[in-house]
Structure 1
């Protein structure tokens, strides 16, 4: 094992260079103008996996973004491990809000800054490091699957899984797209919330009216919308929609000062909701208004607005059904619209929550790898965010054991400006994965 740890450390400089090259590719699938960059990213990943020693590497697409599949066959009697990551990234937002250019990887204070440094091109780097550490010949079968549209909701993933089911079939699935408890303590993610969203539009008038002539007599649509959105929470900030599911959360300490430090909560602003932080974050529903369409301030006039709309995003607790929760949210919006305003709810994306029974030899092998690599006991945690494709993997490969790991930490700021990767976490994550492949080789009971 010590030789394997040393080998990971030896390959990490080359892995970092490859990661930096990937970060320089603006693989934003959500931006039609950069679809060519996503293809260039898939080509680069293909080249890296081929050079690492995979003999069967292909780019596949089932009507969506290009994905990459690479295979190394299992020795007789050994299990096959599927290593997942994604090469597409979130849009960078306003580049002026970044301390350094978003697509130019820059190291500061032991962290590598840039869009995709952590989410999730570091996942690709972790898989490369683990495979290279075994000199391209690990003691288990390895299939690498690098998706190209995860940040857009993985709309073609089900078709990819169906079309390439035999190629992707495995005994263990490692999804390197999650968080760690800290830069010093690793996590196994065992629960994830689901997702349901919609657009709600309210209308009060056929056309705008002079606010001086008619204000105080007829309602404007924006005031209606504001009151309707306010009805989604009670005075303490708990979700007020009836019929939503709540689950149980791990009993771990998450003090208020950690919440304030990790979120950047402003002085005087309080938390919302009731219950422990893990309960609210991992096991209860949450509703957020993520966008509003109405008259911009610089184009406003003394006019009653006839129509306004908002996008509402809901997180679904593990054990709940996303479609049923969207139906409950829709009923609430329709029943709580004030003053008889017309309301239209347009359903959006759905993603099911997921809970993992993290017991048995595969998870024992993972925890042992974590302990060796990190020098700390891993924490079983939930994630407030959603990775809906995990439920799709579970449905496609029901006998496979799923491990959700990652290279992020509380300071990563994935999806935000100044996203970064802690380089020490990358090293420990790569060592963990290399050790996991070795540990699984001795767990013959996980093989078919």
Structure 2
């Protein structure tokens, strides 16, 4: 990726703030757009953020030029002449015009991206334009199909296995909730095949905290199956099971905002689980996620987004405010809301579960397993209680599309029991000691 490595970090950070504003919703003052253009003209900006900024101007109808070509002219870089790039440019133009991709075109686009046939500049423009326009169910389904076709699949997982994961992209930097939930579910006898990634838009992703804890993440099917059979849980690192994602990682990191791949990741569990508790960074995507998973064969899904106040949402159930959920059960999709004051748990602001670097989050998870109390424990209990229902265990917490809070309380009690009796700590220690023939590693 092209860049100017001597650009002062403060200048890069300032331009990053401009990009975040201009790709987001709402009006952007003219002086902000001019400041961004000045930064690019002065040569103070790396290639990918510059293209994201110019793409945002195009999507806002503030310029009519092709953002990739314009950035190349401004930086005196020749255009990419490869045939795949020429074909992808037609697809990119469709997105830049604000039009949705037809299924065949969407599949072709995502296939080219995951095969490494798209230059980083064009990829940055494509991801930025999709981010601003909003991805459709059809485009998301095509992306998932492209990823699943190229992933290292894990066969023969237990019937009824569940995944608990989030999209990331909420920018809140909280402690690792769904990773802790996986250990609680395992202690309750629920088979969990958790899919996770390194941090991209946060400080500590699931893979980061598991590596800090010393938890192995097997790559081959045999040790993965052995781990689930012995401990009811295994962890699949996205970098090990989705090698095609190496073609997009650098651009995603350089963009610094959520992309379609935040949505695609939780929909592409390598074990093909059909039950999922999926956290989503914003509520407008809940229905899209549930409908996409239904189209791909899932049987029970809760897609959730927690309202933290001040227009912020977390990709978990939260005690900071109402959690909106889109629920797929028996082929039907329902929308409902979980109110924290009715859960029997103490409401708490999102700052109460603020996280940090992997070492900090790992220490908090160890303390939780050892009996620690507070907002982190309560948030994990709430998410575990709903996950029990998704797994078909515990009490059924939904009747007629409405939350049964008494049943939810009972599931919370069950989850608290395995934290209090040391069963969660025992699972954590057992998986830390797990060894089997075959690599236990994370690639990428």
Q: Is this a same-fold pair by TM over 0.5?
A: no
Q: Rg: which structure is higher?
A: 1
Structure ranking higher on relative contact order (CA contacts 8 Å, 6+ apart):
1
TM-score, with normalisation over the residues of structure 2? Answer: 0.23
Greater strand share, structure number: 1
